[in-house]
Every structure is written in structure tokens, then in C-alpha cells.
Amino acid sequence: MPDVLTRPDPDQLLRRVQAEEEFHRRGRLKIFLGYAPGVGKSFRMFDEGRRRRERNHEDVVVGAVQPPVSPEVQELLKKLEVIPLKVVEGVPMINVDAILRRHPQVCLIDGLAYDNPPSSAHAKRWQDVEQLLANGISVIGSVNLQFIEEFRDRVERITGREVNDTIPLSFVKMADEIEVVDTPPEMCLERGSPGVTEDLVTSQQKLSELREIALLLAADVVDHQLETYLERQGIEPLWGVQERILVCVTPRMDASRMIESGRRNADRFHGELFVVYVHELDLSAADQKTLDANLSLARKLNAQVHLLESEEPIHAIMEFARQHGVTQIFIGHSSHESWWQRLWGGFVDKIIREAEGMDVRVFPN
């Protein structure tokens, strides 16, 4: 009887065999993801194509080049075969038919988020890429975070820049490999990234936030790759809570960045998000308004909000953290400290000393 109960279901076996056959028949998709314009994703993509051709002797062609073309990219293109775009209704688009006839091992597509003319077989360029993949041609493509449909509004709120042509997140999650072009924000500013226009500090904060979103997205794609692999092998994935993040808010700072970052990290690690506030008496109207906004956002993002009563805030926070198995603590830090705090250590220093076994992330205020 136990043998009968544990015998694999024939339909499940068939689906697994079909999924494995489909996996080996299709081309592979690799995406170079930029978190902002100017990080160098196009160069990295074409350089990988050059290396594959020269070192691995792979048959590599270029299917699309995104203007403007930097001098560094122009030098790389001289070493690669370029299949010219075709112009339809005045719009340049990938010459899918020419690529299929040529049938290389790898096709480089610079800029995945483009709309095709109405008379085209596919409305979107990423759908052209799907056709190449279905025909066994591997594709290496590039895209910036702002052009992923599900992230467009969030990036727009950060940068103030609107985009129209997008690709769906579901297509990005199809990638067999994703690589974030992780150029430091300072280098982007030196290159004059058009994604930011404010003062240096604000611009760096915005670029850092975009970078964090891109890294978390890449991690989600890797998770999806693992889930797909387990599904093909008939293995049931088991997920447990890996991270418990504690965000400490006060009435004197806008904690929205901390709370939103905590939510993203908790989602990424299938974890829990706690937001705590140690009660204070006699708040001013302005402080009460700031506190209410912080707690309202926390509840909106489905954080577990806790109000703590204690005359020793650090002790109360650390006791809560230990009781709930917190792994990361997010706290704000003001650059305006008194000489007494600098000499003996302020709130942040004391939290760091007490948080043994926990990571402490400090957000400047």
C-alpha cells in the first residue's frame, strides 16, 4: 500500500518531461540590468559578446544597438557582426527574419524595451526576443530598471522622469541569468547620469535607492530560477522566514525611506517587518504629525506596528528585538549631535553595541 501512495503521478511526470524538453530546446536569456542611465550596461553586454566570440568561439551577432553609442561601445562593435535594423513605418526595429536565417548561437539586443510599429508581427521588442529564444537562439539583452512595467511608477517617483516603452516583470523573470551592472552611485554622478538633477547628497541617496531596488529585483529573479528548476525536477520548495527586520521610528524624523526599504528587504527574504516606537510625552504638533505619518505608512505596508512603554528606550528596543528573533535593525541618524553625544556615544552607538548577533543599518537623516 505505501508503494501505491508514493508512486509518481503520470501527469506530473509528463509535465516534468515536457518542461525539461522545452528548457533544452529554447535559447538562454541573459539580462544586464542597469539601475540608472549611465551605469555602463551596454558596454558590459557588448564586451561579454566580444569575449564569448574570441575566447569561447561562439557565433555571436548584434541584433540591436541603442543610441547614443559611446566611443567604447563603438570599438567593441568593430569586432562583432552587426545585423542592421529594418525600418518599418519610419521606426527602426529588430530584423527578426534576418536573424532567424542567420541563426547564430547568441544575439545581442541593446535595449529590450521598445515598441514596434502597429503593422509588425509583435507589438513589443521583447516579444521579438521570445521568438528568437523559441527558435533556439540565445539572447543577451540590456534594460534599465525604469523600463520594467511593475517598477515604472516607483522609479518615476524617485527620479521624476517618465517613460513609455516597457517590458513586463514576467519576461525579466524568464531570464536564465541576470546581472546588475553595479556601478557605485558616486561614479554615476561623475559620468553625469541623467537620472538625477538635485544636489549631490540628494542625488546620491536616490541612486542608492534605485540600486537597492535593482539588487532586490535580481535576487527575486534568482529565486524564480531556483523555483523553476525545482519544479522541473519535481522537488517541492520549502520556504521559511529567514529575516526579521525591525525599523525604529521617532517623532523627529521622516522614516519613510527606512520603512519602505524594510518592506522591500522583508519581501525579498520572505521575512517579517516590525516597526516600533517608544512612547514619548508632550510631543509638539509637528512631531505628532511626523510620527502619525510614519506609523500610517508602516500599517499601509503591512508592518507589525508596536508601541513600547519604557523610560529606557534602548533597553525596550533591544528586549523587543531579542524576544522576536530580529535579525536586522534599521535606525535613523542625525548629523547634528552635541559634544556630549560625540564624547560618550549617542543612541546609534549604544544600539550597535547592544545588538550582538544582529545587523544594524543606519539611515542618515
- Domain end, chosen from 233, 265, 286, is at 233
- Which CATH number characterizes residue 95's domain? 3.40.50.300
Is 158 a member of any domain?
yes
Residue 73 has pLDDT above 70, yes or no: yes
Q: Does residue 259 contact residue 331 with C-beta atoms inside 8 Å?
A: no
Q: Residue type at 190?
A: E
pTM of this prediction exceeds 0.85: no
Where is pLDDT greater, at 230 or 160?
A: 160
Across the chain, mean pLDDT equals 85
Domain count for the chain: 2
Across the range 49-58, mean pLDDT stands at 94
Is 315 a member of any domain?
yes
Clarify whether residues 225 and 259 are in a common domain: no
Clarify whether residues 228 and 295 are in a common domain: no
pLDDT bucket at 188, cuts 50 / 70 / 90: low
The set of residues, in sequence order, having a beta carbon less than 8 Å from that of 27 and lying 6+ positions away, is 132, 133, 134, 135, 136, 137, 138, 139
Is 255 a member of any domain?
yes
Clarify whether residues 155 and 263 are in a common domain: no
Clarify whether residues 185 and 221 are in a common domain: yes
At 339 the pLDDT is 40
Clarify whether residues 218 and 135 are in a common domain: yes
Q: What is the DSSP letter of 117?
A: P
Across the range 114-131, mean pLDDT stands at 95
Distances (CA, A) of 163 to 157, 185, 199: 12, 21, 23
At 88 the pLDDT is 92
Clarify whether residues 221 and 256 are in a common domain: no
Q: Does residue 50 contact residue 30 with C-beta atoms inside 8 Å?
A: no
Is 349 a member of any domain?
yes
At 356 the pLDDT is 82
Q: Does residue 216 contact residue 268 with C-beta atoms inside 8 Å?
A: yes
The pairing of beta strand 359-364 with beta strand 91-93: unpaired
Per the structure, the complete domain to which residue 326 belongs is given by 244-364
pLDDT tens digit sequence for 308-351: 998 888 999 999 998 888 999 999 876 444 443 443 346 778 88
At 208 the pLDDT is 85
- Domain end, chosen from 233, 266, 297, is at 233
14-23, 74-83, 169-178, 179-188, range with the lowest pLDDT: 14-23
Q: Which of 55, 60, 45 is nearest to 104 (CA)?
A: 60
- Domain end, chosen from 199, 233, 267, is at 233
Is 274 a member of any domain?
yes
Clarify whether residues 72 and 99 are in a common domain: yes
Is 238 a member of any domain?
no
Across the range 6-29, mean pLDDT stands at 71
Across the range 137-162, mean pLDDT stands at 93
Clarify whether residues 39 and 79 are in a common domain: yes
Clarify whether residues 187 and 331 are in a common domain: no
Percent of the chain with pLDDT over 70: 83
pLDDT tens digit sequence for 230-241: 776 666 555 555
At 97 the pLDDT is 96
Q: Does residue 29 contact residue 138 with C-beta atoms inside 8 Å?
A: yes
At 193 the pLDDT is 54
Where is pLDDT greater, at 268 or 70?
A: 70
End-to-end Cα, the chain, rounded Å: 65
Is 268 a member of any domain?
yes
Is 182 a member of any domain?
yes
- Which CATH number characterizes residue 274's domain? 3.40.50.620
Cell 544636489 sits at which residue? Answer: 199
Across the range 154-165, mean pLDDT stands at 90
Clarify whether residues 265 and 182 are in a common domain: no
Clarify whether residues 123 and 190 are in a common domain: yes
At 74 the pLDDT is 95
At 106 the pLDDT is 97
At 304 the pLDDT is 94
Clarify whether residues 221 and 105 are in a common domain: yes
